[in-house]
Structure 1
Amino acid sequence: MKLILTQPVSGLGTAGDVVEVKDGYARNFLLPRKVAMPWTKGGQKQVDAITRGREKRAVKTAEEASTAKARLQDAEITVSARAGQGGRLFGAVTPAEIADAIVAAGGPQVDKRKIEVPTPIRTVGDHPVQVRLHDDVSADVTVTVVAS
């Protein structure tokens, strides 16, 4: 089935890409989550609009992304969350909270969808996170979670 991605999907593509996937994957995963839409003849206009929007939000060049990467890796990112006995959090730390903490630490403005958390952050301590700044540039960052 031919689809247009409306959001980035790990391992498949970014917003605005036209991809060919199996029918079941499209029907059961991509379409219900609204991360893709069926490709139509008029869909090319939508692809162009998505691409223009992505270009406005993205870091424009690889040089800017590399300087942002250097600033991001030097910053100490700390997230405060409610925790119970033994350092276990009530809930989990979300990518939106991490994005806010990056800005508060003096880092660049990062879209929450560009933050990849390998495992849910549910305990106090240091956790590795990857931030995609550009197609070719990504920063590995350590997020420190403290109890509030």
Structure 2
Amino acid sequence: MKVILKEDVEKLGTAGDLVDVKPGYGRNYLIPQAKAILATDGAIRQFEKMKKQAELRAELTVDAAKELARKLEATSVTIPVTVGEDDKIHGTVTNIQVAQALEERDIIIDRRKITIDEDIKSLGEYTATIEVLGDLKPKVKVWVVKQE
């Protein structure tokens, strides 16, 4: 019996694979558990079409991520803060403030994807790393200045 796997199945194959299994295994386990579908001609054509569309979406995602990374590398943000004596700031600058500063430049980034390399407790220039996609992690300059 030939089936198309809808998800990864240990010792059998990965999602999208066309595999030959014993009829009982296919009918009694894989198909009822929604781990596979029966490999008819129509199902094979439909699955191939879906696979191509997924590959195109993945390519577009990677291209968009690279473009965003280039845009971020060329960007620096300025965060005005109130300061006390010796130019020490009240509190610290957080990833939330960096995300808001990027949003003002029409770059929407989830705050959880922003990592500030060191605690920002005084005025100056700092670096924030932004996780865009996998190993693609551009750095953004963060300028902390005195609020006027």
Distance in structure 1 (CA, Å) of the matches to 2:86 and 2:69:
34
Structure 1 residue 118: Cα displacement: 2.2
What is residue 113 of structure 2 aligned with on the other side? 114
Which segments of structure 1 move beyond 4 Å, counting only runs of 4 or more? none
Q: Which moved more, 1:88-97 or 1:67-76?
A: 67-76
Q: Does 1:145 align with 2:139?
A: no
TM norm structure 1: 0.56
The question of whether the paired residues in 2 share the 8 Å contact of 1:77 and 1:102 is answered with: yes
Q: Does 1:105 align with 2:105?
A: yes
What is residue 62 of structure 2 aligned with on the other side? 62
> Root-mean-square deviation (CA), in Å?
1.4
Structure 1 residue 71: Cα displacement: 1.1
Which is higher, the Rg of structure 1 or of structure 2? 2
Amino acid of the residue matched to residue 66 of structure 2? Answer: S
Structure 1 residue 105: Cα displacement: 2.7
Distance in structure 1 (CA, Å) of the matches to 2:93 and 2:62:
29
The question of whether the paired residues in 2 share the 8 Å contact of 1:127 and 1:142 is answered with: yes
Matches within 5 A, 1:68-87: 68-87=68-87
Structure 1 residue 82: Cα displacement: 1.0
1:129 aligns to what SS in structure 2? strand
Structure 1 residue 90: Cα displacement: 0.4
Matches within 5 A, 1:10-89: 61-89=61-89
Distance in structure 1 (CA, Å) of the matches to 2:115 and 2:140:
10
Distance in structure 2 (CA, Å) of the matches to 1:124 and 1:115:
19
Give CA-to-partner distance per residue, 1:54-81, whole Å, 9 cap, x none. xxxxxx7121111111111212211111
The question of whether the paired residues in 1 share the 8 Å contact of 2:99 and 2:111 is answered with: yes
What is residue 12 of structure 1 aligned with on the other side? none
The question of whether the paired residues in 1 share the 8 Å contact of 2:79 and 2:145 is answered with: yes
1:134 aligns to what SS in structure 2? coil
Aligned length: 88
- Uncovered stretches (5+) of structure 1, i.e. residues with no partner: 1-59
The question of whether the paired residues in 2 share the 8 Å contact of 1:78 and 1:143 is answered with: yes
Identical residues among aligned pairs (%): 24
